[in-house]
Structure 1
Amino acid sequence: MVKVGFIVEGDSEKIVIESADFKAFLQANDFELVNPVVNGSMPRVAAIYCRKISMLIWHVWISKR
């Protein structure tokens, strides 16, 4: 299963991504939703999560070396 996360443009997109139907679609296609879904229209919040994602990618990359 592949884990996916989303940074969306607004509240309506966040509602769609967090819906039970979309989660069922993801599961049916072998994906898992990583929470939280981040509203990117709030720059400060998006920047915090982008930094966290960058750090996570860095740690994964280092651990595979």
Structure 2
Amino acid sequence: MTPAEFDTLFATNVRAPFFLVQGILDRLRDGGRVGHPTDIADVVSYLVSEDARWITGQILDASGGTAH
């Protein structure tokens, strides 16, 4: 998976104060918000389920529509 910037302890405390970059990141995403760890957990849950049994060798963009 290729996740984008997410609202985590690393993003908020280590890289930069989150409130400074949140507005910029929100405008870059189709979903209109920064991702949360549960967003990635949902994708991983799907990938390990029987429903994803035919998905192999793919890079899954789980970025919420981040503009590159």
TM-score normalized with structure 2 length: 0.34
TM-score normalized with structure 1 length: 0.35
User: Could you say which structure has the higher helix fraction?
Assistant: 1
Higher relative CO (CA 8 A, sep ≥ 6), structure 1 or 2? 2
User: Could you say which structure has the higher strand fraction?
Assistant: 1
